[in-house]
Amino acid sequence: MSQDAANEAARAPSVGELTPPDRTLMGPGPSDVHPRVLRAMSTPLVGHLDPSFVEIMDEVQELLRYTFRTDNQWTIPVSGTGSAAMEAAIGNVVEPGDTMLVPTNGYFSGRMASMARRAGGEVVAVDAPWGEPLESDDVADALAEHDPDVFGFVHAETSTGVLQPDVTELTAAAHDHDALVIADSVTSLGGVELRVDEWEIDVAYSGPQKCLSCPPGASPLTLSDEAMEKVLSRDEDPRSWYLDLSLLEGYWGDERAYHHTAPITNVYAIREALRLVAEEGIEQRWARHERLAGALKAGVEAMGLEMNAPDEYWLPSLNAVRVPDGIDDGAVCNALLEQYDLEIAGGLGDLAGEIFRIGCMGHSARPENVIYVVTALGDVLESMGAAVDPGAGVTATRNALEE
C-alpha cells in the first residue's frame, strides 16, 4: 500500500456496531414499534414499480381507508414524516390568495398557520387559549367574519393533551361557508375515535409513529373528492414539486407512473402496522387506548398530580400532567432516561416547563408500560422532593387495570 493510500485509510472514521439503548417510549412519539413491524422492515426490497409492490400499495391504501373510516379514493401514505403529510395537505389545498382559518390553541395549530403562509395563503385566527379546545360558537363567528376558503383544526393537540370535541359542529359550520376542512389527526389516528366520512372532514393527515407504532417515513393522508378537485384545478402549481398531489396522483392513482422512489421499507412497515389495526379492530383499539390511558390517569392523580385537560376533553393517547411546584421538568425527564430507560417529555411553547407529556399510544399502550411509567415517575418525583405518594399511584393504576 502506498503512503498516500495508508494516510487515506487512516483518515477513515472508525464507527462501531449500532447499539442504541433499549428505551421504553412513553413520550409524545415515537412509540414502541411492534416486533411484527420490525420484522416486516427486514424483508427484501423490491422495486417501487414492481408488480408485487403495486399490490402492496393497493393493500396499504385499503388499510388506511379502514383506519381513517373513509371511502376516499385519495388515501395514501406520503413519503416522509408526519410533517410531510401535513405540508402536502396544506400546501396543495391552500392556493396563493386563499384565506385559511386556523386556531391558536396549541403548537401544531401554529405550524398549520406557518405552512399556510408559505403556501401563499392569508391566515386568520379563531382564538382559543392553549390547553382548551375550540368552541363551536367561536368558530362559527370567525367563519362569518372572515369567510375563509379553508378551515384547519387539530383533532388531538400533542402539545396540550386536548382532544377536540364537537367535530361535526365545526365541520358543518365550515361547510356552511363553503370552506374545506383540514384535520390534524397525527395523535389520534388509530388511537382515539376518528371518523373522516361521518364527520365530513375533507382532508386529514397523520404520522405513523404515534398510535400506529410504526417508524416515521410513510405518513397517512386522505382527501375527499371535493378537496382533490380543488387540488387538480389549481391555477398555479404548488410550491413543492415533491409533495405536489397532482403529480403523486400519477403514482398512487390508477396509472402507477414513476414520480419518486418510494421508501419501500417504510411502506412495508406501515402495511404491517395497519394490519395490526385491522386484526384488533379499530373500535376495539380506540377502547384499549382509553382503558389503559385511564389507568395511567388514575395513577398520576392518585399520586397527587393534576391533569392539564379536564375530563371532557382529555386526550387518552397523550396525557398532559402538570409539573409539581418547585420541580424542573427537564431534570425529571433526564432522570427517567438515565435511571429507567424511560422516555417522557416536557411541554412546548406556552406550556414549556409546566407539563409532562406522557404518551399511551399503539404498542406502548400495554398494562406493563402503564405500571412502569407510574412507578418510575413517582419514584423520581419523590426523590426530588415533590409532594407525591408513589404507592397510592401504583395501587390506583393496578386497580384500574383490574376493573
Domains in the chain, ordered, with CATH? 35-280 (3.40.640.10), 282-402 (3.90.1150.10)
Question: Using CA atoms, how far apart are residues 387 and 394, in angstroms rounded to an integer?
Answer: 15
State residue 32's pLDDT score: 97
Residues in CB range of 122: below 8 A, 6 or more apart:
97, 98, 99, 100
CB atoms within 10 A of CB 130: 21
Mapped onto helix, strand or coil, the DSSP state of residue 156 is: strand
My answer on whether omega of the bond before 30 falls inside 30° of 0, hence cis, is yes
Q: All 3 cell numbers of residue 297?
A: 390517569
Q: Give the CA angle between residues 322, 327, 329 to the nearest 5°.
A: 65
Contact 162, 132 (CB under 8 A): yes
At residue 174, the 3 state secondary structure works out as helix
What secondary structure letter does DSSP report for 307?
B
User: Per-residue confidence of the chain (403 residues) as pLDDT tens digits?
Assistant: 566 666 666 688 889 999 999 999 999 999 999 999 999 999 999 999 899 999 999 999 999 999 999 999 999 999 999 999 999 999 999 999 999 999 999 999 999 999 999 999 999 999 999 999 999 999 999 999 999 999 999 999 999 999 999 999 999 999 999 999 999 999 999 999 999 999 999 999 999 999 999 999 999 999 999 999 999 999 999 999 999 999 998 899 888 888 999 999 999 999 999 999 999 999 999 999 999 999 999 999 999 999 999 999 999 999 999 999 999 999 999 999 999 999 999 999 999 999 999 999 999 999 999 999 999 999 999 999 999 999 999 999 999 999 8
pLDDT number for residue 6: 64
Quick one: pLDDT at residue 115?
A: 98
Supply the pTM of this predicted model: 0.96
Please state the φ and ψ torsions of residue 193, each to the nearest 5 degrees: -55, 130
* Axis-axis angle for helices 282-303, 390-402 (nearest 10): 150
Helical ranges in 2-135 per DSSP H: 3-11, 35-41, 51-68, 82-93, 107-118
Strand partners, 154: 184
Q: Where are the beta strands (DSSP E) in 98-155?
A: 99-103, 122-126, 150-154
DSSP category for residue 312 = G
Q: Measured at the alpha carbon of residue 185, what is the angle toward residues 201 and 248, in degrees to the nearest 5?
A: 75
Instruction: Please calculate the CA angle 43-47-51 and round it to the nearest 5 degrees.
Output: 100
pLDDT of residue 5: 65
Q: Which of 79, 89, 60, 94 has the alpha carbon at shortest distance from 204?
A: 89
SS3 (DSSP) at 253: coil
178: number of Cβ within 10 Å: 11
Specify the pLDDT at position 9: 62
Give the torsion sign (CA, 32, 69, 259, 184). negative
The confidence score (pLDDT) of residue 12 equals: 82
Residue with the three cell numbers 406556552: 350
Look at the alpha carbons of 317, 294, 376, 372 in this order and tell me if their dihedral is positive or negative: negative
Q: What pLDDT was estimated at residue 183?
A: 98
Cell of 307: 391533569
Please name the residue that has the C-alpha cell 388514575.
298
Asked if residue 332 lies in contact with residue 359, where contact means CB atoms within 8 angstroms, the answer is: no
